[in-house]
Structure formats: C-alpha cells, structure tokens
Amino acid sequence: MNRHLFHRNAPLTGLIIAFTAAVAASAALRYGLMESDALHGVCAAASDDWRCAARRYAPQLFIDQRIGWLALASGALAMATRIPALTALAVVSGGAGLILYSADYAAAGLLLGLVALTSTRSRRRGAH
C-alpha cells in the first residue's frame, strides 16, 4: 500500500471519523434517551438518573434548531473564508443536526461545508 495516500488524506480521515462519531452520538441521544419509552417511565418517577438529566437538558441543542443554525453559519463562513476548522464544524454539526430535529438548516450547512472542503482540496491539488 502507498503510505503517501494515507498521509495526504489524514485530515479527511479524521473528519470522516468525527462525522461518524457525531452522527452515532446524535442517534444514541435521540433514540436512546429522548424517544425512549422505557426511560420516559423512569424519568417520570423523578429519578436522579444521569439519563434523566441528559434528557432534560439535551433539547437545548435543537430548540429553535440551534444545531442546524450552527451548521449553516459555520458552512457559510467556511465557504467565505476556507478555514478548515469552520469546514469541519459545518460537516460535523450538520451531520448531528440531521439526526437531532434540525434537518433543514443542518443539511444546508453540511452541504456548504462539503463544498468548501472539496474546493479547498482541489485548490491544494492544483498547487502541487
């Protein structure tokens, strides 16, 4: 195998791993905590379980589509500035927002982040 192939794509591999982790964590939060019927019964009994606390405070992520707005804002800024951290934030928060009830803005932010990522990568490739 060509070691240079993996070395050059290391930032992209890290972004893919971060995106996958964000989507998995968001799915666990949504389906494991927020929409769990069994946990609803536990939390209704005024339990001090950590899952009940997470269930109580997690909606702050998606009330008013906050995570979607974060993805959209960082995607728009990534398009304008080509800052890699903003690109990564747009992609990761966009993936999470797709799962966490903020699909409209999150999808747009994710797409803007991916466009910024591909245009940055194509510029670098053209410079070599």
Residues 6+ apart with CB under 8 A from 69: 102, 105
Q: How far is CA 119 from CA 22, 34, 55, 83, in A?
A: 23, 37, 39, 12
CA distances from 78 to 19, 61, 89, 98, 122 (A): 16, 21, 9, 19, 15
- Nearest residue to 78 (alpha-carbon basis) of 114, 31, 128: 114
The single residue listed with the structure tokens 């966490």 is: 100
Q: What is the pLDDT of residue 126?
A: 58
Average per-residue pLDDT for the chain: 86
What's the pTM value of the predicted model, to 2 decimals?
Answer: 0.82
Domain ranges across the chain: 3-127
User: Can you tell me whether residue 62 is helix, strand or coil?
Assistant: coil
Which one is predicted more confidently, 6 or 89?
Answer: 89
pLDDT tens-place string over residues 44-87: 887 788 888 888 888 888 889 999 999 999 999 999 999 999 99
Confidence of residue 2 (pLDDT cuts 50, 70, 90): very low
Rg over alpha carbons for the chain, rounded to the nearest Å, is 18
Half-sphere exposure in the Cβ direction for 24 (13 Å, CA): 6
Instruction: Report the distance separating Cα 63 and Cα 74, nearest Å.
Output: 18
pLDDT in tens, 97-124: 999 999 999 999 999 999 999 986 666 6
Please tell me the predicted confidence (pLDDT) of residue 95: 97
What single-letter amino acid sits at 18? A
7, pLDDT greater than 70: no
* Identity of the amino acid at 124: R
